[in-house]
Amino acid sequence: MKKIFDKIGWTGLIIIILFIIIYTYVLIRQNNRIKNPVYTKGTSLGISEGVSGHLYLYYSFKINNRRYNGSVTDDFCKACSECCDSGNAVIVRFQKDDTENNDLVLKLPNGEILESK
């Protein structure tokens, strides 16, 4: 153990712990979204480049007269190519008590798929 600590030092240890905390947070949010889902129709805003230079599919949806925005990586477009055009319908899944915790799914739990446009 001492040899490992000597190699990574305090900085490395802090980075590893920070990574574990962030990874755990993301998994908890994803798990909550899957366990308490609500589905709604959203609108694709198209693909744009994110801050880090990666491509993201941006979308918006409305709940209780409030508009929410979200994004997923452009990998989603490989599974649903018609979802990526701006203005097309998408299926948004969000956590029942946290609308900000949302993502896109290909179909509803009953297998229904929304029509585009």
Query: What does the domain layout of the chain look like in residue ranges?
Result: 1-35, 37-105
34/85 Cα distance (integer angstroms): 26
| pLDDT value, residue 117 | 46
For residue 115, the model assigns a pLDDT of 60
Name the pTM for this structure: 0.75
β-bridge mates for residue 46, sequence order? 58
In the chain (117 residues long), the average pLDDT of successive 10-residue segments reads 74 91 93 89 90 88 94 88 87 92 88 63
In a 13 Å sphere around the CA of 15, the CA atoms on its Cβ side amount to: 6
pLDDT at 60: 97
Multiple choice CATH, 37-105, 1.10.3470, 1.25.40, 2.40.50, 1.20.120 = 2.40.50
